[in-house]
Amino acid sequence: FPVTIAVDVTAQILTPEGMKALGSYRDGIIKVVDGQADPTDTYYHEAVHKYMDVFLPLKDHVDLLAAGREKYKTKDLATVEET
């Protein structure tokens, strides 16, 4: 089954809080900042978010985040997703 991966290389990415980011995955689009030291690593990181969004059943997604909360001793899901 085909999956389209939309990638946008851009000059700047801001988080919803207004902080600069090297990459993002939102609305099915992977964005990577142009000119950064290692865009491949950023792309792979964002591709994991897309994989979780497209292929991972909700229960598995929840279980994975719960395991991350336990491993990293945090209740902050954003920390778990970005670690």
Q: What pLDDT shows up at residue 7?
A: 93
Query: Tell me: the pLDDT tens digits for 9-33?
Result: 999 999 989 999 999 999 989 999 9
Using alpha carbons only, give the angle 50, 54, 58 rounded to the nearest 5 degrees. Answer: 110
Contacts of 70 (CB under 8 A, 6+ apart): none
- 2 confidence band (pLDDT: 50, 70, 90): low
Closest CA to 19 of 6, 29, 33: 33
pLDDT value, residue 70: 95
- Asked whether 40 and 48 are in contact (CB, 8 A), the reply is no
Beta strands in 1-83 (DSSP E): 6-10, 13-14, 20-21, 23-26, 29-33
Question: Nearest CA to 40 among 9, 2, 1?
Answer: 9
